[in-house]
Structure 1
């Protein structure tokens, strides 16, 4: 009885294995048909069309806080106001700007090189509910609209400050790395699905040397690592 049971289980296991094999093979075959077979050029063209359809990629979002102060003096009196304003900035990549000429497939090394357009900064989107204003002009505020003028001035300064923070080297570096890895994965996954499992994808921005290989699929920098790298570069420049 036990032997028959084991035999039945063994047969069932073989049947399940065959079904799984047929299923996996079918999925692989569908993937090859969808991406034009195992031809990497066809896979890359299909991936690029898909990216163009998505239009814009938002690989990184950052939140900054600006603290600005404005002062006004009139009639021998003075008034001062301080504004604390948080804002969110999106770092976007216009994938429609990636042209076919920006892609290069090296058959010998099975490496796809991708040249990326520059990151675009959208925003800031200010959080008015979280904004805080402090200060008092005393007599000057009572006699004029000094507080309103100071608040308007502070808002303009705060917007400019948030944009300046967003364009600083560290957040830009993090946004670039996030965009680079997203694009590399977007090209690598279809290549793998088409059966080119050992393909590599290297994305770089236009201002980076072509000989440089700034990132592969498994590269990732944390915020602290980016800060540390920047510190080491500054230390190296100082010792020269």
Structure 2
């Protein structure tokens, strides 16, 4: 894996490690408060929920974007144009403290725990000012009028809008959602399976209208499947 991909996925790895560590510590501290019945999946999930919520907002993904915009103005028979290259980095996070018990649903016939996550949040994009680039043409008009300032303002507005459009576009958002769902699925699956419950964990995002926007299913791996995969 090259350095850029490693850097991009670093928040996912860090978030998973922090969440699992916090989860284990939280569950251990609660062991003295009267543990839930060993084989009651709802009770176990509720205990895990408390520890997961304590992790607060976790960053699951980060991505770098670049907006390239141009503005042109004509006056006095002359034309001036400016091009702005504006890079920025967006970070994607989920606030786990917003999880509630109503976000959990246990389906006994299929042994599946479904977790509905709060909306994905986007921080930024934060502008990387050290890498901003600007090019201009029509120096005479720029020198004689305030066209330069007008073009700069137009480019800044357009570039910031373009960066936000890229940050909200499908690819980055889907990668961030997928990372968040995997982290949460494993956080709930580990205690359930450690208790001997052969449970699947489904994690999903829903849109403002309540429709499923993204989902991930973590299924328990059967021994025979693991042996077959290792042999192939």
Task: Verify same fold: TM over 0.5.
Answer: yes
Distance 1:189 1:174, change over 3 A: same
Structure 2: which 5+ residue stretches go unaligned?
1-27, 220-232
Map 1:1-240; keep pairs closer than 5 Å.
33=31, 36-38=36-38, 39-193=40-194, 195-207=195-207, 214-217=215-218
Q: Detail structure 1 runs of 4+ shifted over 6 Å in the superposition.
A: none
Root-mean-square deviation (CA), in Å?
Answer: 2.6
Per-residue deviation at 1:106?
2.1
Higher strand share: 2
Cα shift at 1:163? 0.6
1:98 to partner: Cα distance:
2.0
Distance (Å, rounded) in 2 between the aligned partners of 1:121 and 1:199: 32
Q: Within 2, Cα distance between the matches of 1:31 and 1:54?
A: 15
- Provide the secondary structure at the position in 2 that maps to 1:82: strand
Q: Say whether the 8 Å CA contact 1:89–1:121 is kept in structure 2.
A: yes
Q: Distance in 2 between matches of 1:33 and 1:94?
A: 25
Q: Quote how far apart the aligned CAs of 1:32 are.
A: 9.3
SS in 2 for 1:118: coil
Q: TM-score, normalised by structure 2?
A: 0.72
Cα distance, 1:31 vs. partner? 9.2
Aligned to 2:8: none
Q: Is the 8 A contact 2:206 2:214 kept in 1?
A: no
CA distance in 1: counterparts of 2:124 and 2:214, whole angstroms? 31
The TM-score with structure 1 as length reference comes to: 0.69
SS in structure 2 of the partner of residue 49 of structure 1: helix
* Long gaps (5+) in structure 1: 1-29, 219-240
Q: Secondary structure at the match of 2:60?
A: strand
Which deviates more from structure 2 when the two are superposed, residues 116-125 or residues 144-153? 144-153
Q: How many residues are matched? A: 188
Q: Secondary structure at the match of 1:162?
A: helix
**Shift in Å, 1:94:** 2.0
Cα distance, 1:209–1:81 mapped onto 2, change above 3 Å: closer
The 8 Å contact of residues 92 and 120 in structure 1, kept in 2 or not, is answered as yes
Distance, in Å, in 2 between the alignment partners of 1:91 and 1:47 is: 23
